[in-house]
Amino acid sequence: MSVFSKNFKIGNKKIGYNSQTFIVAEAGVNHNGDLKKAFKLVDLACKAGVDAIKFQTFNTEACTTKNLRKAKYQKKSFNDKETQYSMLKKLELDSKDLIRIQRYCKKKKIIFFSTPSDTESFNILEKLKVPCYKISSVDLNNDILIKNVCATNKPVIISTGMSNLNDILHTKKIVCASKNKKIIFLHCVSSYPTNLYHTNLRSINFIADKIGSLVGFSDHTLDIEGASLAIACGACLIEKHFTLNKKLPGPDHKISLNFLELKKFVKKIRDTEKILGKKIKKLHQSEKNTLSATKKVFVANKTIKKGTKLRLNMLLLKSGGKGLNYKSIKKYLGKRVKKRIIKDSILSKNFF
């Protein structure tokens, strides 16, 4: 039996395999440290129809060494010598900024949450009473942060990029010790952008089987097809970066969706849900006309006289719609017919 819940809420949204996919628009640091841009990102996320918008909260001093170089995808050019520290320092949001963004999200009726990268950032977000937390892939081994976040007993979303099963199992032990059952692990490939052929979406089912939690997908591809396939693999949450303009300076803009792409992304997910349907098998309303015209039922293969005991060799199956099939004919076999049945007539209970 799984130690994790398979149904819970983030804000007013239900999370689980029988609920709509929870779509997170990852604003991240694409506000470039500008509050107006942050508000505009909220506006576009609402218009696109996502469930939540997520930012990143960090104290550069606490989470990055000063001489660490930027990752290849973060560089503006080959000769870019800027450090991670210098880049991130310009992208920080302070507590006042976050309060204003949160209030704006409340006004716009969209769920706001963030990824804390250090204890100070976690404390800021806890004061804001965010409805859930996200742990980024770089903090999958940050036991202290994970313990603090899980201790709130709020839903926690944990990315698993740059990891293997043993790394995830270690994190599971930390989470289980907290007794927080509202956990979603995200399959994630931390290459920016992720090549479609490196996405390995079967990891979603694999993680679900090995960990026993709900599983989602943090999508870093440039495409929108991966998310639909992820849902077919069982993902209950999809996270995707988006931006105001892919040409803006900053580390994530060029690997993000613009507004029109985000809107199309959301529609694709909702259409996929409709196509996948529910885990049931029953006659669909749209099939009933076809059923009435083509379903095979028993007919007399010769004229059967009144009083004759009905035997199976007197009958044939033909498309006829309404009538007796193999399941319903059994109760009449061996019984005497009460009136003559003309050859090719459809058998019904009226003959008995």
User: How do the domains of the chain map onto residue ranges?
Assistant: 16-276, 285-351
Looking at residue 69, what is its pLDDT?
Answer: 76
Lowest mean pLDDT among 43-52, 85-94, 151-160, 202-211: 85-94
Give yes or no for a contact between 69 and 78, defined as CB atoms under 8 angstroms apart.
no
Residue 317 in tokens: 């199956």
CA distances from 190 to 10, 161, 198, 206 (A): 25, 5, 10, 18
Selected residue with higher pLDDT from 77 and 192: 192
- Kindly report the average pLDDT of the chain as a whole number: 93
pLDDT digits (tens, 9 = 90+) for 309-318: 999 999 999 9
Selected residue with higher pLDDT from 292 and 14: 14
The CATH number assigned to the domain with range 285-351 reads 3.90.1210.10
SS3 content of the chain, % helix, strand, coil (to 5): 40, 20, 40
Facing residues of 156 across strands? 133, 183
For domain 16-276, the CATH superfamily is Aldolase class I (3.20.20.70)
Give yes or no for a contact between 110 and 42, defined as CB atoms under 8 angstroms apart.
yes
Cα separation, 45 vs 26, whole angstroms? 9
pLDDT digits (tens, 9 = 90+) for 85-124: 777 777 888 899 999 999 999 999 999 999 999 999 999 9
Pick from 201, 199, 257, 240: nearest CA to 21: 240
Residue 7 in tokens: 């149904």
Selected residue with higher pLDDT from 87 and 323: 323
Any residues with CB less than 8 A from the CB of 40 and at least 6 apart, and which? 244
Residue 347 has pLDDT above 90, yes or no: yes
